Structure 1
Amino acid sequence: MNLDFLILLIGFGMVAIAGNQIAKFFQKIKFPLVTGLIVTGIIAGTSLLNFIPSETLPKLNFLNSIALAIIAFSAGAELYIKDLRSRISSIKWMTIGQLFVTLILSAWVIYFFASKIPFMNSLDDKTKIVVSVLFGVIFVARSPSSIIAVINELRANGPFTKTAIGVTVVKDVLVIILFSICFTVSKSIVNGDQFGITFLGFLFSELILSFILGILIGKLLNLILSVEIFNLLKGGLIILVGYSVYVFSFFVKEKTGEILTHEILLEPLLICIIGSFYITNYSKNRIEFIELLHTISPTIYVVFFTLIGASLSFQTLIQVFWIAIALFSLRIFTMFLGGIFGVLASKDDKSYLFISWMPYVSQAGVALGLTTIIASEFPTWGLEFQTIIIGIIVINQLVGDPLFKWSINFTNESNLKHKTPDFDGIKDVMIFGLESQSIALAMNLKKGGWVPTIISLEELNDQKNTDLEIISIKNISPESFELLSLKKADAIVCLLSDKQNYDVSKIIYDSYGTKDIIVRYNGEREIYDKLVDLGVRIIDPSLAMINLLDHFVRSPNATSILLGLYKNQETVDVVIRNKDIHGMTLRDMRFPTDVIVLSVIRAGQVLISHGFTRLRLGDTVTLVGTKKSVENVRFKLES
């Protein structure tokens, strides 16, 4: 490694670090991360600041090889066959629609209007066909990371969502396989090679050899993952294996070109994706492999997207902007037709007919990776091709996620929690279920300064407890809940059957966003998992008794205080709402000497509190002490 190369590598590393920070700023103004990285690369490249001169870019090609290998590994890791079984028919037909309708129709239209695209105007007919088909293949690629991010953000679940994620991961794998075939054929056409039985035989043999090597790579990765070593070292070995695939493919191409009359062209992307598929479906190390990829991918992508931006010409990007918009519109139209075909062929819900294309708009890693390969192989027109595709991808990233979010909300598959209402100064609690325990709970809470309301599902003939507010509703439904003052509730307690408890919790979660939902669990395991997904606090009476006795044995004094057995002691959670408290440390609060801060919870995380812990608005502070002192501290923090 010479000094010039080392300086180049350090310089590019600094640009990539800056790109990562700039990309985060782009995210704040609702632009995709990829856009920020590409823009940074353009600024640092030859178009503007020339921090990365064009003549140095070939020396950094090894970074592209590493990134492409990781992209292929990530695509293969998403294809877990067992996850696709429930929606296999819909996934199959939607994949066919999105894959072939989009590819064939896009390629045909682009070839027909080739004279309108500047760099295609001077190409011969055979090369125009090649470019058109490659456009079509890139149009089909999708971004699994984007779709997964949206699903996680909205906590989406349902047939539409399952089909969308299934089609995305299947399509990305098929796109790489299809690209491998089309790319090999395209090189032969552009180079003037003759088609025939011999050519097809070589093509078939190369694909079979790539599949076999992919399985061997999968076994090698499985061996690496099985060894007890640091995860950082495992991640480095995965990167090394991916890069080695590209080095080996180049070595085979060079040596067979010298020895034979025909170069053997292995497909590194195909090898990597088959290896990843093997690990995901035929080994016990799937979870660890995915976690390692999630750890190393962000850094790899920052380098990759920044390098792509550095290789672009800003002037060319401006010139082809309107062409990019036209081709973006073409892609949307062909995806729309493909979506209609998929819904009709799979006999899915007809309400999906005009929205089924929306999950597949965003593009990122795979599409950019394939475009980079094309630009490298066909230098005469590849850079213009790459510039147009990147323009399309940027537009796709801007509109893709909002469209997918809209389609999820349209199909009512979003499980996003309703915004938690602001505290109105009164601690309201709604208790569902009229029984002895609910009455006893309400009376205790009332003594503690809460305003309880008991909700009964039965008609009230004689309200014995005149001191408590008891309301009767006909059923558990959004309409019945509108008659209640649930928007001001600070806590919900459910003491009904498990099914009824879940129904209440789901409506509260979707429509009211109450922060604390406490449920008494009665033993239905299927309902338990659903309650966990909603994030409610579950009380199992049998386990609660065992845990209570356990705590009494190990810590009788603390447990007695918690249960209120010491009449003058109290334990409470207080949410900081006093703006004057914001930023102050615990040591500066001058709490009474008989009050102790047990914990501070911020953004769902428990902080180990000490004198230098700074309090923030919205923090939940757990206090223990005498009732009078605790009440004084509560007033100070909440007022």
Structure 2
Amino acid sequence: MSASAPISWEAASHVLLRLPAILAVSYHVGQGFQKFRMPAISGYLVTGVVSGPYIMALLSENGISDVKFLFRLCLACIAMSAGSEMHLLEIRKTFAAVSALTMSITAFSWIFVFGVMLLLADQLAFMQEMSLQQRLCVASMAGTIMVARSPATAIAVLKEVDGRGPFCSLTLNVVVMKDVVVIILFALNFEGIKFVEKGFDALDESSMHFTVLKAIFSPIFAVLCSIVLGVSWGFALMPILRLEQRAHRNIPAFLFDHRLKCVATLLMAAGCFFMALMAWWEPLLASVTMGLYAANSIDTHRVQADREALELVLHALMPLVNVTFFTLIGASLNLGIIAKTLHIAVCIVLVRLVALMVGAGLGSKVAGCPPTQVQVAWLAYVTQAGVALGLIKSLAEHEPVWGPPFASLMTAVVVCNCLVGPPMFKYAIIKVGEAHRGVGSERPAVEGKTPPGVTP
């Protein structure tokens, strides 16, 4: 992990002063995109690009890099939200099918993208001077990021067509589990990259064995510590979520204010993330574990109430988090690099689609899905959004040399997947006969919560 450059408070203040107005515009642009059946985050990204240093220059490149604390705060919430969507009691009912699909899609997506990145390495300027070990690490990281899916957009499509049935339920469970798996894989990949960068050149034979053992166990140790840290912060969050359940006790009335609960949850998420960051562990994994623990209380009598309390808080926080994060992501994109590597981005998109066809098809057969579902299963796993971009941004921050161009390439891929994915998923739901447009539309579901009709 590279040392952070000193912050220029003058550049940061310029961004912070202009950001509220830009975010207001970005939000309305996102709403406009939704009217054309396009994801709101695409509108946020476009607004960020227009506001960024390459077009209107309302946000400077140095200023954006100096407000990385905003990126990290958003990442903490996005990761916690991803963890909270994993409902263990529901996944347990279809665990065999969910596991089969998750493993199959993960394996084929990683292998295919890993292979195409190695084949195209000489065409990417940031990989041309890399050693074979470094190329393997970068290709592995690309494959890992391409495993990610977007639970939020999946839920949005389900709400749009009122998707209900076994296919919709299975898809949603796989999508959530895949995002948890991808963050664990990212943590292991990132630890591997840090080790490869240190190299063996300066080692003598006596210290070689120790270093090899350290290379094997250091990533595992970091992952385990991150999980323990996340569980600890999730446990600490529970009293905040349960304030309403303790209304009969002698607790000041102002503590029941929903806004105060949102602020407290935001601070808890930030505390977990930054503590893991300072310990050189895996902050995204810690935040995911925090959300997962909070949504899956060991007290089975309270788990539903705890989950609903957390969902209400995230429902209030995530709109602001999303518009801030994706607008800043758009502003930080290097348009020059994207223009030069767009053909490679399209190639990665196409290879990933083939991988999804193979992986989802095989996984669906193993899971015992009907033939109609097997044929269209891959269409449900195309879209990418928050978690994928969060991983990309996190990597770009810690790898100042090759991280930014890699991030621009991967972001272009994610944006393509974000545009083509939702219509594909919508078509799959209609094809398997689980679309009930208009049924239950008078009962809008809470964002981030499974639609009323979707049951395992």
User: Are the counterparts in 1 of residues 78 and 387 from structure 2 also a CA contact under 8 Å?
Assistant: yes
State the alpha-carbon separation in 1 of the partners of residues 346 and 425 from structure 2: 20
Q: Could you say which residue in structure 2 is the equivalent of 1:198?
A: 214
Match of 1:50 among 50, 53, 57: 57
Alpha-carbon deviation of 1:47?
0.6
| Contact map agreement 1:168 1:360 (CA 8 A) in 2 | yes
Match of 1:212 in 2: 228
CA drift of 1:108 comes to 2.2
277, 284, 290: which one aligns with 1:275? 290
Aligned to 1:355, what secondary structure does the other structure show? helix
**Contact residue 101 and residue 335 of structure 1 kept, 8 A:** yes
The equivalent residue for 1:401 is: 422
1:100 match: 107
* Aligned with residue 187 of structure 2, among 159, 174, 180: 180
Question: Alpha-carbon deviation of 1:2?
Answer: 6.7
Q: Secondary structure at the match of 1:83?
A: helix
Q: CA deviation at 1:336?
A: 0.8
Aligned to 1:612: none
Deviations 1:68-123 (A, max 9, x none): 11111111111001222343222111111111121123212321332233432232
Letter in 1 for 2:264: L
Q: Which residues in structure 2 correspond to 1:213-252 (within 5 Å)?
A: 213-227=229-243, 228-252=255-279
Q: For 1:168, give the aligned amino acid.
A: V
Q: Which residue of 2 aligns with 1:350?
A: 371
For 1:81 and 1:2, the matched residues in 2 are separated by: 44
Question: What is the rounded CA distance, in whole Å, between the counterparts of 1:45 and 1:2 in structure 2?
Answer: 18
Provide closer, same or farther for how the CA distance between residues 381 and 198 of structure 1 changes in structure 2, counting only shifts above 3 A.
closer
Between structures 1 and 2, the one with greater strand share: 1
Instruction: Give the Cα–Cα distance (whole angstroms) in 2 for the partners of residues 98 and 190 of structure 1.
Output: 30
Matched position secondary structure for 2:404: helix
Alignment deviations for residues 151-176 of structure 1 (CA, whole Å, 9 cap, x no partner): 12211112211110010011111111
Residues paired across the two proteins, number: 411
Find the residue that maps to 2:413 and give its secondary structure. Answer: helix
TM-score (normalised: structure 2): 0.85
CA contact (8 A) 1:87 1:159 kept: no
User: 1:157: which partner in 2?
Assistant: 164
For 1:329-382, what per-residue CA distance to the aligned partner results, in whole angstroms no more than 9, with x for missing partners? 011011111012202222221222221111110110000000001111112121
The match for 2:131 is: 124
2:32 counterpart residue number: 25
Matches within 5 A, 1:496-575: none
Kindly state the Cα deviation for residue 317 of structure 1 after the two structures are TM-superposed: 1.9
Q: Deviations over 1:169-207 (max 9, x none)?
A: 111111111111111111211232675112323332222
Q: What code does the residue aligned with 1:269 have?
A: L
Please say which structure displays the higher CA radius of gyration.
1
State the Cα distance separating 1:5 from its structure 2 match.
4.5
SS at 2:338's partner residue? helix
Determine whether 1:335 maps to 2:351: no
Whole-angstrom distance in 2 between the partners of 1:41 and 1:32: 15
User: Which range moved further: 167-176 or 108-117?
Assistant: 108-117
For residues 574-620 of structure 1, the C-alpha deviation after alignment (integer angstroms, 9 at most, x for no partner) is xxxxxxxxxxxxxxxxxxxxxxxxxxxxxxxxxxxxxxxxxxxxxxx
Q: For structure 1, which segment, 223-232 or 322-331, has the greater mean C-alpha deviation from structure 2 after superposition?
A: 223-232
Residue deviations 1:524-564, cap 9 Å, x none? xxxxxxxx97xxxxxxxxxxxxxxxxxxxxxxxxxxxxxxx
Report the secondary structure of 1:31's partner residue.
coil
Aligned to 2:94: 87
Moved more, 192-201 or 72-81: 192-201
CA contact (8 A) 2:134 2:196 kept: yes
User: With CA pairs under 8 Å and 6+ residues apart, which has the higher RCO, 1 or 2?
Assistant: 2
The residue aligned with 1:142 is 149
Closer/same/farther in 2, CA of residues 2 and 192 from structure 1, 3 Å limit = closer
Alpha-carbon distance in 2 for matches of 1:71, 1:41: 18
Q: Which moved more, 1:117-126 or 1:71-80?
A: 117-126
> In 1, Cα distance between the equivalents of 2:342 and 2:120?
17
Q: Distance in 1 between matches of 2:431 and 2:287?
A: 37
Cα shift at 1:302: 0.6
Q: Residue 319 of structure 1 aligns to which amino acid in structure 2?
A: K
CA distance in 2, matches of 1:36, 1:330: 26
| Offset from partner CA, 1:254-311 (integer Å, 9 cap, x none) | xxxxxxxxxxx21111111111111111153111101111110010111111111111
Residue identity in the other structure for 2:25: A
What residue in structure 1 maps to residue 337 of structure 2? 316
Residues 2 and 409 of structure 1: CA distance in aligned 2, closer, same or farther (over 3 Å): closer
Could you state the TM-score of these two structures normalised by the residue count of structure 1? 0.61
Of 70, 75, 93 in structure 1, the residue corresponding to residue 77 of structure 2 is 70
Cα pair distance change 1:89/1:251, threshold 3 Å: closer
Contact 1:87 1:162 in 2 (8 A): no
Q: Which amino acid aligns with 2:88?
A: I
Paired AA for residue 386 in structure 2: G
State how far apart, in whole Å, the 1-side matches of 2:164 and 2:31 are: 28
Write the mapping of 1:358-507 to structure 2, written as runs, cut at 5 A: 358-417=379-438
Residue 55 of structure 2 aligns to a residue in which SS? coil
How far off its partner does 1:234 sit? Answer: 1.1
Shift of 1:6: 4.1
Report what 2:246 is aligned to.
none
Contact 2:183/2:285 (8 A) holds in 1 = yes
Contact 1:103–1:133 at 8 Å: present in 2 too? yes
Write the letter of the residue equivalent to 2:195. S
Question: Structure 1 pair 326/99, CA: closer, same or farther in 2 (3 Å)?
Answer: same
Secondary structure at the counterpart of residue 57 of structure 2: coil
Is the aligned partner of 1:36 residue 2:52? no
Q: Distance in 1 between matches of 2:198 and 2:174?
A: 35
Partner residue of 1:427? none
Residues of 2 paired with 1:96 and 1:378: CA distance?
29
Return the alpha-carbon distance in structure 2 between the equivalents of residues 316 and 203 of structure 1: 32
Cα distance in 1 between the residues matched to 2:38 and 2:372: 30
Give me the whole-angstrom Cα distance separating, in 2, the residues matched to 1:355 and 1:118. 37
CA contact (8 A) 1:31 1:398 kept: yes
Aligned with residue 122 of structure 2, among 89, 94, 115: 115
Percent identity of equivalent pairs: 28
Compute the displacement of 1:3 (Å).
7.2
What is the CA–CA distance in structure 1 between the aligned matches of 2:96 and 2:218, rounded to whole Å? 34
Secondary structure at the counterpart of residue 153 of structure 2: helix
